[in-house]
Structure 1
C-alpha cells in the first residue's frame, strides 16, 4: 500500500518541489524559469538540470506519484528556463480531469520535483540552486513561482489550438513584459561583466587550456597569446576567469562580512567615496511665505585603498604532472581557504596599514553601548533602540559563537527564548527577530571588548575588490617544490559609522 506519510517525509527531507509555467494537451511551456526568486526564497539558474532525459522524467498530476497523467515528449534549455512539451492522456480519468481544468483556466501552473545536489546562499540569504537531478514535472493548482502560467493548449487528435491567452490578454501582456524585463537584466549583466575571454566560448576554452599548461609546465607563451587582458604584471598572469569567479563566489558565500557589507569591484588601486556629514532637513510652509534655507550636510571624500593579499601554495612537480590530479581545483581550494580567514580578520580588526581597516578600529568613533550593571538581555534591546530607524530594516547582529551561546540561554518575560532558529535554514539564527551572523574573528565577552556589533552593515562598511587575481609560477627557489605566488587585491573601511553600534563589556 502507498504510504503517503513516507512520501511527504521524503519531500521535506530531500525531494524539493518547484512550480512554473506551462502550456498544452500536448502542452508546451516552461518547467522552470531561471533567475526568479520563488516563494521558498530559492533561485534556479541556467545549467541546473544537465541533459534532463524526457524518458525518465515523469509527468504527474499535483505531484501524486501514483497519478501519472501522460508522457513528456521533450525537455530543453534556453536562456529563460527549462522548456517542456508533454502530452496529457485523455483516456484516463485523471488526464480527462486535468484537460478540462486546464482548458477552463482553473489550473494553470507547472511544478518540478528534483533531488538537490549543489546549492549556495547569496548575500541576500537566497538559496541559489546550481545542480539538481530532475525527477518529475506536475500540473499544479498553486505554483511556488507566481509567474508560472500555462499559455495555450493543443488538442493532439483534432489539432485544434485553444489560446488561453485570449481569455486573459492582460495576463499575456504582463508575462511578455516580465520576459522582456528579464532579458534586459541579462543583457545588462552581460555588458557589465563582459571580458574578451568570457565573451567568446572558444577563446575561453583555449585560454583555460593554456592556463592549465602554464600551471603544469610553466609554458607562458601560449597563455600570453590567449589572454587579451593587460592587467597582469611582469612575470605573472591573470587567473583564468572561470576559476577567478569560483574563488570570489566561494569566498563571498563563506565570509560573514562579505555577506553583510556592500562590495565594489574596481580596476584601479583605490575607490573614492563621497560621504554625507549630517542630514538634509525640510519643513512645512504656506503658499506665500518666504522659503528659508534648509540644512544641507557637508560632503566629505573618503579614499579606500586596495592592499595586496597573497598566498603561496606549493606542490612537487611529480604531483603536478600526475594527470589524475585536477591542478586547477587544488589551487582554487588552497587559495579559498587561505584568503577567507585572513580577509575576515582584517575586516574586523584590520589596522588600515597594508590591509583593510576593520570595523573595530578606534578611528571610526562608532558609538558604544556600555554594559555597566544592566543585564545582557537589556543591553541587546538598548542596541536595537539606539539605532536610527532608517538602518533597522536591514540590521543584523554580528558576534562569535561563544557570545551567541550565552545569549541562547536568555528568556523574555513570558519565558520564551529571545534567540530563535529559523525554519528555512538550520544554521540561521535570530534575536528578537533580527538576523544573527557569527564571525570567529569577533572578540569574546571580556571587559573592555566590543563583543557584539549591531547595525546596517551594508550602509556602514564597504569592501573594495580589484578585479582579477594574479599568479606567478616559481619552480626555482624551493626545489623540488613548485610554488604558485598568488595575489588578490582588496580593501575595506567604514563609510557610515552612524549605521553601527557596539556593545562594550
Structure 2
C-alpha cells in the first residue's frame, strides 16, 4: 500500500452482544490480531526507512488495536454469559428452608418465616439489625461472579472471616541458623521477626429497585436477579479500591502504599523499576525495562506471577517486539484464557493509571501471595417498599477489606527517571 491509498476497512463487531457464538468471536479476534501484526510491521518498516510512518498506516494500526480491545471484551462478555444460570427453575433442586423464607420476604415483605429461623439459629441475621442475610446459595453466587468481574479479586488470595478485622502475623525474617561441629556448643539464635498486619472490613452497598410485576412473576428467580443487579456495582467499586483505595472506609489498594526504587526496597513498601524516560517507554530496547521488572521479583514469586495494566497501557505494549522480531504480547490461546506478555498472563484492570510522567501503570507479581481480600461472611438485604414508590428498593450490603500481605510479591514499573 502506498501513502495515497486509503487503508481497507477492518470489519469488527462490538462488545454489545453482536456475537452469538464464543468460537466465532474468538476466530474474529485472532484474524484481527494477524491484521494488527501486518499493519504494525508496515509501520515499523516505514520508520526504519527514515521516511517516517505514514499517517494512514498509523491510524490503521490504532484502529485495529482498538478493535482487538473491543473484541476481547465481547469474548469476556460471552464467557460470562455461559456461566450464568438459566432464568427458569425447571430441573433445579428444591430451595432450602432459608431460601424459601428469604424469597417470601423479597416478594411480599413477609418476614415471619425468617423470624422463626432466627429463633432456631441466630446466625441468619435479624430485621431489627438492618436486614436479613441472604441464603448461602445466593451469597456463593455473588462471590463467584465477583471473582469473574473483579480482576484483582480473581488473582488475589480471598479469606472469609466472621469478625470486623482480620489480624495476621507475617514472618518478615526467619530465625537465625548456622553450622556447628558435632560436639560444639549450640549458642542461642535470634528469634524470627514478625509483623502484624491488620485488614479491617468496610461496608460496600448497592440498592437495586424492582417493580411489583417483577416480584409477582413466579418464573423470575429472585436470587439470580439480585445477584446480577449487585454484581457489577460491587465489582466496580471494590476493583477500584483494590488498586488505589486509600484505606479510609474502603480497602487499601496496592498502589496506595509507599513506593520506593527496588535498590532501596524495605518491608512495608512496594518496590519499582524505572523506564528511564519521563512518561514513556525507551525508544530503543523497550523490552529491557519489562525484563528488569520480571527479575526484580524473586524466583519463588515468578512462578505464579501476572502482569496488571489497563487497556491503554496494554495497547502501547502490544506494539513491542523482541530482538528477534517476535511480538512480546501474545493473544489468548483459547476463549476464556488470558493474553500473555513475555510468557506471563496479563490481567486487564481498568482502574490502573494511564501512562504518564512518574506514573506506575504496570504491576507485576504473585498477587495470590501479595494481596489479600477479606470478605466478612454474609450479604445482608433490607427490603424498602416506601422510599421510592411504586418501586421496591433492596438495600444490599456486604463487608470487604483488603491490603498487601507480602511486600516482596508485587513490583511496579514507573514511567520516570527517579
Settle same-fold status: TM greater than 0.5. Answer: yes
- Aligned residue in 2 for 1:232: 125
Distance 1:266 1:322 in 2: 36
Pairwise CA distance, 1:477: 1.7
Pairwise CA distance, 1:315: 2.0
- Aligned residue in 1 for 2:241: 346
* Cα-to-partner distance string for 1:132-175 (whole Å, 9 max, x where unaligned): xxxxxxxxxxxxxxxxxxxxxxxxxxxxxxxxxxxxxxxxxxxx
Give 1 or 2: higher helix fraction.
Answer: 2
1:378 pairs, out of 248, 272, 288, with 288
Distance 1:329 1:414 in 2: 50
Pairwise CA distance, 1:128: 9.6
Give 1 or 2: higher strand fraction.
Answer: 1
Distance 2:202 2:336 in 1: 36
- Aligned residue in 1 for 2:342: 432
Q: 1:376 to 1:291 in 2, by over 3 A?
A: farther
Distance 2:189 2:322 in 1: 44
- Aligned residue in 2 for 1:143: none
**Contact kept in structure 2, 1:119 and 1:129, CA below 8 Å:** no
Secondary structure of 1:387 counterpart: coil
- Aligned residue in 2 for 1:412: 322
**Contact kept in structure 2, 1:119 and 1:130, CA below 8 Å:** no
Q: Which moved more, 1:319-328 or 1:306-315?
A: 319-328
Instruction: Report the number of matched residues.
Output: 316
Structure whose alpha-carbon radius of gyration is higher: 1
Q: Which moved more, 1:397-406 or 1:219-228?
A: 219-228
* Structure 1 position 223 matched with structure 2 position 118: no
2:156 pairs, out of 222, 237, 261, with 261
Q: 1:283 to 1:269 in 2, by over 3 A?
A: same
Q: Which moved more, 1:306-315 or 1:327-336?
A: 327-336
Pairwise CA distance, 1:231: 4.8
1:273 pairs, out of 146, 159, 168, with 168
Secondary structure of 1:209 counterpart: helix
1:214 pairs, out of 91, 105, 117, with 105
Q: 1:283 to 1:415 in 2, by over 3 A?
A: farther
* Cα-to-partner distance string for 1:86-109 (whole Å, 9 max, x where unaligned): xxxxxxxxxxxxxxxxxxxxxxxx
Q: 1:129 to 1:433 in 2, by over 3 A?
A: farther
Distance 1:425 1:293 in 2: 57
- Aligned residue in 2 for 1:71: none
* Cα-to-partner distance string for 1:325-379 (whole Å, 9 max, x where unaligned): 3333221110111111101001001110111000100345201212114453111
**Contact kept in structure 1, 2:117 and 2:124, CA below 8 Å:** no
- Aligned residue in 1 for 2:399: 489
Correspondence list, 1:356-395, <5 A: 356-363=251-258, 364-373=268-277, 374=282, 375-395=285-305
> Structure 2: which 5+ runs fail to align?
1-22, 25-77, 87-92, 259-267
Pairwise CA distance, 1:211: 1.3
Q: 1:471 to 1:368 in 2, by over 3 A?
A: same
**Contact kept in structure 2, 1:421 and 1:427, CA below 8 Å:** no
2:198 pairs, out of 291, 303, 311, with 303
> Structure 1: which 5+ runs fail to align?
1-12, 15-117, 122-126, 132-200
**Contact kept in structure 1, 2:156 and 2:373, CA below 8 Å:** yes
**Contact kept in structure 2, 1:462 and 1:494, CA below 8 Å:** yes
**Contact kept in structure 1, 2:79 and 2:336, CA below 8 Å:** no
Secondary structure of 2:403 counterpart: strand
Distance 2:387 2:315 in 1: 47
Distance 1:281 1:428 in 2: 41
Q: 1:417 to 1:295 in 2, by over 3 A?
A: farther
Distance 2:299 2:176 in 1: 16
Q: Output the TM-score relative to the length of structure 2.
A: 0.69
Correspondence list, 1:52-451, <5 A: 205-226=96-117, 228-233=121-126, 234-294=129-189, 296-363=191-258, 364-373=268-277, 374=282, 375-425=285-335, 427-451=337-361
Pairwise CA distance, 1:442: 0.8
